[in-house]
């Protein structure tokens, strides 16, 4: 890629990130629980001051009802590292119990800095490497793709505004995708194990990784070299998990306690207004009141499996890199739409592979990324990030339009729907996907999202409907996501398997 332009793109992306970090964070000055900022600070306090075996257990020193640790061991180790550094700078930041709710400008600077450092070490280098390896793409287009991916507002607003470390798990997952695309299956498996051991929500990506690797093993001959590859992958996964979980493998109680913290099924089908099917349906049909918890779990499992099945079968039979990226979108989106206890921020797991499709399907990928950011609007509004949301979304929209010209690529060929449309025309000869129809849908979508954004900021909801705007936002986003699930499934199922017309990472 072009050196000066690449450097400028990264610097501008970092500038936008740091500008967003000047805004409020989750739970700022909101007692008694504060928010995700306090959760991350509290985990530093707990991991620094308590023995490893007490991190996930309730005790007088570790009240699990006050932001108890509920992420895998790698997150805990990261918190411990940050806790050590915080203690060296100012011990008051991580004193056991008495530091609860600690807030100061210097501490905010430190916490924001830890997010940026993690981003610079893991996520941004992965995006740089991915874009540099894009084939059948000019150096200029590689830089443009890099800039647009780094400007995706959803990840910036959640990590640098709301406050989380999603760039760590997503960065590890991206390194896994890069390794697999380079034919390094063992390294790819290791990278994904790290992602999964940092955040359990990476399970959204697990089936495409599994199916792609299984398909590669079958392709090489399961009784020959394929078996050897499968053995190497298996040993790598077991070794990586064992290394991460060593302190908790001393007895079964430790393992079960950690697992119970990672998968709290007792929380119910959903909590806040989230743009998935169950939350949207609950407006018309109160599923929580009609079905038992066990029935809800079974329903979620069945619907999720039905959603991921087409892509998983296709990917196992034909393990291509382009198919792998499409399967990541389809499986993660199916999990988001249909699985149990989904959080609004989980849409970021779909956004990562969608970012990787910006150069292949610019209109639909950009449209999805804008919708995913919009779906988190109630959360961002609660955190006082509306101005940051509007500015970063407009920057991303304008930059993508100027650099990728996505709004002009509305033909069947540009949308990669020509094989599907040709198939439909065998039975319905008059069928045509008109440019004007696609543009009308896109601009109508943008108008609806803009109107709901303005309304939620400017008008108070009726007293009888206090959640009117969050419900409308989640329902509108859910309808969009169902459309995207259909589109990306069509792309994958009609994907050419003969190697033609693919833009891939090698």
For residue 191, the model assigns a pLDDT of 97
- 353 closest CA partner among 326, 375, 334, 373: 326
Q: What b-and-e string marks burial along 188-216, b requiring 16 or more CB atoms within 10 Å of the CB?
A: bbbbbbbbbbbbbbbbbbbbbbbbbbbbb
Q: Is the sign of the CA dihedral 224, 227, 228, 229 positive or negative?
A: positive
Count of Cβ atoms closer than 10 Å to residue 178 Cβ: 21
d(CA 454, CA 458): 6
DSSP secondary structure letter of residue 120: I
d(CA 54, CA 68): 11
Q: Which two tokens stand for residue 266?
A: 């007792």
Q: Is the sign of the CA dihedral 29, 32, 38, 39 positive or negative?
A: negative
Count of Cβ atoms closer than 10 Å to residue 436 Cβ: 8
pLDDT in tens, the chain (506 residues): 668 889 999 999 999 999 999 999 998 888 888 999 999 999 999 999 999 999 999 998 999 999 999 999 999 999 999 999 999 999 999 999 999 999 999 999 999 999 999 999 999 999 999 999 887 678 888 899 999 999 999 999 999 999 999 999 999 999 999 999 999 999 999 999 999 999 999 999 999 999 999 999 999 988 889 999 999 999 999 999 999 999 999 889 999 999 999 987 767 777 778 999 998 888 888 887 888 888 888 999 999 999 999 999 999 999 999 999 999 999 999 999 999 888 899 999 999 999 999 988 999 999 999 999 999 999 999 999 999 999 999 999 999 999 888 888 888 898 999 999 989 989 998 988 889 999 999 999 999 999 999 999 999 999 988 889 999 999 999 999 999 999 999 999 998 754 444 444 43
Residue with structure tokens 């991303």? 396
For residue 223, the model assigns a pLDDT of 82
Angle between helices 36-49 and 105-118 (to 10 degrees): 90
For residue 409, the model assigns a pLDDT of 87
Burial classification of residue 418, based on how many CB atoms lie within 10 Å of its CB (0-12 exposed, 13-18 middle, 19 or more buried): middle
Nearest-5° angle of CA 127, CA 132, CA 138? 130
């Amino acid at each position: 890629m072009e050196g000066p332009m690449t450097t400028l793109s990264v610097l501008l992306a970092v500038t936008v990130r740091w500008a967003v970090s000047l805004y409020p964070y989750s739970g700022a000055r909101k007692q008694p629980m504060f928010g995700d900022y306090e959760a991350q600070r509290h985990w530093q306090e707990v991991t620094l001051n308590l023995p490893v075996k007490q991190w996930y257990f309730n005790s007088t020193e570790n009240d699990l009802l006050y932001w108890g640790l509920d992420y895998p061991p790698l997150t805990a180790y990261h918190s411990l590292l940050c806790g050590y550094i915080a203690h060296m700078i100012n011990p008051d930041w991580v004193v056991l119990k008495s530091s609860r709710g600690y807030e100061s400008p210097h501490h905010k600077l430190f916490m924001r800095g830890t997010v940026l450092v993690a981003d610079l070490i893991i996520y941004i280098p992965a995006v740089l490497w991915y874009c540099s390896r894009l084939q059948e793409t000019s150096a200029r287009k590689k830089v443009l793709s890099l800039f647009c991916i780094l400007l995706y507002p959803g990840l910036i607003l959640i990590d640098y505004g709301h406050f989380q470390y999603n760039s760590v798990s997503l960065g590890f997952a991206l390194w896994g995708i890069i390794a697999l695309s380079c034919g390094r299956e063992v390294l790819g498996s290791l990278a994904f194990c790290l992602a999964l051991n940092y955040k359990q929500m990476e399970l959204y990506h697990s089936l495409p990784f599994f199916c792609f690797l299984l398909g590669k093993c079958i392709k090489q001959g399961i009784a020959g070299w394929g078996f050897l590859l499968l053995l190497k992958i298996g040993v790598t996964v077991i070794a990586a998990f064992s290394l991460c979980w060593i302190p908790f493998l001393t007895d079964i109680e430790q393992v079960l306690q950690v697992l119970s913290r990672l998968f709290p099924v007792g929380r119910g089908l959903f909590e806040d207004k989230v743009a998935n099917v169950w939350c949207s349906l609950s407006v018309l049909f109160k599923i929580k009141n009609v079905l038992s918890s066990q029935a809800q779990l079974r329903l979620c499992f069945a619907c999720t499996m039905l959603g991921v099945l087409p892509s998983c079968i296709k990917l196992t039979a034909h393990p291509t890199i382009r198919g792998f990226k499409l399967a990541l979108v389809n499986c993660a989106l199916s999990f988001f739409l249909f699985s149990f206890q989904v959080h609004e921020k989980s849409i970021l797991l779909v956004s990562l592979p969608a970012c990787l499709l910006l150069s292949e399907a610019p209109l639909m990928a950009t449209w999805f990324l804008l919708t995913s950011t919009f779906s988190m609007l109630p959360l961002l509004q609660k955190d006082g990030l509306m101005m940051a949301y509007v500015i970063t979304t407009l920057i991303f929209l304008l930059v993508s339009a100027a650099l990728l010209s996505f709004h002009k690529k509305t033909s069947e060929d540009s949308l990669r729907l020509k094989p599907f449309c040709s198939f439909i025309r065998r039975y319905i000869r008059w069928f045509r996907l008109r440019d004007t129809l696609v543009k009308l849908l896109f601009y109508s979508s943008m108008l609806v999202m803009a109107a709901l954004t303005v309304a939620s900021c400017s008008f108070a909801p009726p007293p009888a409907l206090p959640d009117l705007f969050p419900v409308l936002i989640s329902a509108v986003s859910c309808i969009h996501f169902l459309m995207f699930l259909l589109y990306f499934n069509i792309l994958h199922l009609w994907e050419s398997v003969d190697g033609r017309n693919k833009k891939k990472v090698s």
